[in-house]
Amino acid sequence: MTTEEKVIKIIKANLEKKAVIKIDTDLRKDLGLDSFAMLMIVNALEDEYGISIDDQHYQKITTVADIVKSLKSHCPNLKES
């Protein structure tokens, strides 16, 4: 599974409703996520990858691609399975 696929799977598991999610999906505009919904996803990513993402950082995240980019910068040795 690629990092992109894994991130999309994590997002889907933390949504109130089912949604179609692509790499360029805007989390707030397309999915209507509020601050707690964003926090749920960030917490799940932290748990999955064993990292800590600070508030200021995740406020800047807009799309799924932003998350993937952020993860790759947090975890340079990220392996895809």
Give the residues lining the site for other proteins (CB under 8 A). Answer: 14, 16, 28, 32-34, 36-37, 39-40, 43, 47
Helix (H, G, I), strand (E, B) or coil at 63: strand
Shortest separation between residue 8's beta carbon and other proteins, angstroms: 17
Q: Spell out where 1-81 has E strands.
A: none
24 is catalytic: no
User: CA 20, CA 46: separation in Å to the nearest integer?
Assistant: 23
- Of 19 and 72, the one with the shorter C-beta distance to other proteins is 19
Shortest separation between residue 19's beta carbon and other proteins, angstroms: 11
CB 37 within 8 A of CB 14: yes
